[in-house]
Amino acid sequence: MPTPIDDAAFEYLLARAGLTLTDAEKLELKTVCDGIAAMAERVRKQRGRMAEPALTYGFNEEDVQ
Amino acid sequence: MTAAIPTIAAAARQIAARQLSPIELTKACLDRVHALDNRLHAFVHLTEERALAEARAAEAAIMAGGPKTPLHGIPIGLKDIVDTKGIPTTCQSKLLQENIPDADATCAEKLAAAGSVLMGKLTTHEFADGGPSFDLPKPPARNPWNTEHFTAGSSSGTGAAVASGMILCGIGTDTGGSIRGPAAYCGIAGLKPTYGLVSRAGVAPAAFSLDHIGPMAWTAEDCAIMLQALAGHDPRDPASAKRPVPDYRAALGAGIKGAKVGVIHHFHETDHKVGEETQRGISVAVETFRGLGAEIREVQLSPLQDWHACGSLISIVERAAAYEEWSRTRLPDFSERMRTRLMLGAFVSGVDYLQAVRRRRELRDELKKAMAGLEIVLTAVFPNEAPPIDALPKWDVFQQPSFMMPFNVAGYPAMSVCSGFGAGGLPIAFQLVGKPFQEATVLRIADAFEKATPFRDRRPPAPGPTP
């Protein structure tokens, strides 16, 4: 179960994103932060350090010509 | 509204035989726009003069040398996130009300090269957000089967315009279901192709790695005709696949005897249980396929919630990144819904995002293994017929997992197919999913279902006044 976000962390993340919100918007957003945290928990699995992401960078033939 | 709206295939045959004039066809579509669009709000920008000029040019060319493709002289529409040279492309946003691109998106260019007639730009929710939104520059599209109900989003105008016969086909885009959703709620056919098959160049992004461009039309065959014009490599799109383009109509009508069809029962029976009528539609599909000689198998995947979480996190972050500059400087200019979606990006860390992208590889590999030996898998599109447009929860993304998102996560081709009508008289649908670049198989199986059932014979009634 993810830990609910506290006010300081909430304000820090908004400031870091450069978002200026009204008090009403902040209040509403706080109600769904747990939903995001639950999704973030759901994608974490025991997969070890070697598991690659879906998108990896590669070179095409034209890159080397 | 039921009078003589042809499919593309039928119209193309008549045009080739000089039995149907592209000018008369275009005028008939324009008549429907003038009669219906004050209630359906499918168009944000009607290009009437251009459409008539293109229809005249098409007719002259066809009379001189025959049609160059089955789309020659066919009236189409483009979702208003598709760049069109010299025509406003607003993305239904206050931020782009004055935007007139100086070049066509690749998909617009290809449809024009095929000889189609551009009727105009079709409404969406802002920057292809799923909607509904009521504070956009133009009102949201209304469902032609019942204008008090939602079209789904974000290719809402395309869904409404095709279903009501204002155009014969149109472009949709799909980041988490925005082709298949409006196709399902509006009772048409909509195909999200394999990621990379249709170029994204010149189309406003929603989430780079989940965005797909594809056809929306009345039938699977019409989607095949449209896909034929759209598919193919484009160096302007870094994700564009370099693969030969097959003839998507070649196998239509060849039957599906012996085809292996998988059903992901747990998606729609356990993970997100659908309503009785949608379940009945899925059962009709399964029994129809069995009756046509297909073999039905059960498919087991990770819970739908895993796919939904993976796709949603990626979507939130990629959208926030695409629109970060405007979020920081012009946030109040976005619609309320888009603003809240953009804010979510602040709460997904870089590590969260990359864990989702690692999960994505696992899920895609899982689907690949599950589909070994199968041609296609089947599940729901939505749990029920379209709800009232003002009854949707704002934060639905956290409430119920999407049946469509798994196939944006995997990048596999997926199609919405009408499977009947619910108690409210609105369409219901099921979803067919093929292997990468096997659109021809998806279309062949969808076409077989359409031809074996009566659901393509019924068009929406004339709409009442929009509330």
B95-153 confidence digits (pLDDT tens): 999 999 999 999 999 999 999 999 999 999 999 988 889 999 999 999 999 999 999 99
Closest CA to B28 of B179, B202, B154, B164: B164
Which position has the higher pLDDT, B256 or A61? B256
- B360 — contact with chain A (CB < 8 Å)? yes
Please list every residue in chain A whose beta carbon sits closer than 8 Å to the beta carbon of residue B359: 43-45
- B270 — contact with chain A (CB < 8 Å)? no
Active site residue B154: yes
Would residue B238 count as lying in a domain?
Answer: yes
Confidence check: pLDDT of B349 > 60: yes
- B147 — contact with chain A (CB < 8 Å)? no
B327–A18 C-beta distance less than 8 A: yes
Domain count, chain B: 1
The pLDDT of residue A56: 75
Window 398-457 of B: residues touching A by CB (8 A cutoff) are 398
| Catalytic residue, candidates B116, B133, B154, B315 | B154
In total, chain A counts a number of residues equal to 65
3-state DSSP of B118-180? EEEEECCCHHHCCCCCCCCCCCCCCCCCCCCECCCCCCHHHHHHHHCCCCCEEEEEECCCCCH
Please list every residue in chain A whose beta carbon sits closer than 8 Å to the beta carbon of residue B316: 36
Query: Interhelix angle for B48-65 vs B22-40, to 10°?
Result: 160
Residue range(s) defining the domain that contains residue B54 = 8-457
Mean pLDDT of all residues in B41-69? 98
What chain B residue is nearest to A5 in terms of C-alpha separation?
B347
CA dist B73 and B168 (Å) reads 11
Residue A32 has its nearest CB partner, among B310, B352, B398, at B398
Mean pLDDT of all residues in B12-31? 98
Please list every residue in chain B whose beta carbon sits closer than 8 Å to the beta carbon of residue A33: 347
Active site residue B94: no
A25–B343 C-beta distance less than 8 A: yes
What chain B residue is nearest to A49 in terms of C-alpha separation?
B358
Number of other residues whose CB lies within 10 A of the CB of residue B55: 24
The pLDDT of residue B2: 44
Residue A42 has its nearest CB partner, among B309, B316, B339, at B309
A51–B309 C-beta distance less than 8 A: no
CA dist B403 and B429 (Å) reads 12
Place of tokens 């105008």: B157
Mean pLDDT of all residues in B57-83? 98
The confidence band for B364, taking pLDDT boundaries of 50, 70 and 90, is very high
Please list every residue in chain B whose beta carbon sits closer than 8 Å to the beta carbon of residue A31: 395
Furthest-apart CA atoms within chain B: distance in Å: 61
Q: Output the average pLDDT for chain B.
A: 96
The pLDDT of residue B463: 74
The pLDDT of residue A1: 59
The confidence band for B363, taking pLDDT boundaries of 50, 70 and 90, is very high
B209–A53 C-beta distance less than 8 A: no
Lowest mean pLDDT among A8-12, A41-45, B290-294, B463-467: B463-467
Would residue B369 count as lying in a domain?
Answer: yes
What chain B residue is nearest to A27 in terms of C-alpha separation?
B340
Share of residues in chain B with pLDDT > 70 (%): 99
**Residue ranges of chain A whose pLDDT lies below 50:** none
| Catalytic residue, candidates B79, B110, B121, B435 | B79
Closest CA to B320 of B433, B432, B196, B208: B208
CB pairs under 8 A between A and B: 98
Which position has the higher pLDDT, B462 or B342? B342
B324–A53 C-beta distance less than 8 A: no
| Catalytic residue, candidates B178, B240, B315, B402 | B178
Residue B361 has its nearest CB partner, among A16, A32, A52, at A52
Q: Residue A5 — φ and ψ, nearest 5°?
A: -75, 140
Name B193's Cβ contacts closer than 8 Å, sequence gap at least 6.
B212, B213, B214, B227, B230, B231, B413, B439
CA dist B254 and B274 (Å) reads 32
B357–A20 C-beta distance less than 8 A: no
Active site residue B335: no
B340–A25 C-beta distance less than 8 A: yes
What chain B residue is nearest to A15 in terms of C-alpha separation?
B346
Would residue B2 count as lying in a domain?
Answer: no
Would residue B465 count as lying in a domain?
Answer: no
CATH no. for residue B102?
A: 3.90.1300.10
Residue B313 has its nearest CB partner, among A14, A29, A40, at A40
Window 168-227 of B: residues touching A by CB (8 A cutoff) are 209
Name B375's Cβ contacts closer than 8 Å, sequence gap at least 6.
B259, B260, B261, B434, B435, B438, B441, B445
Please list every residue in chain B whose beta carbon sits closer than 8 Å to the beta carbon of residue A38: 309, 398
pLDDT tens sequence across B373-424: 999 999 999 999 999 999 888 888 888 999 999 999 999 999 999 999 999 9
The confidence band for B70, taking pLDDT boundaries of 50, 70 and 90, is very high
Q: Give me the residue spans of the domains in chain A.
A: 1-44
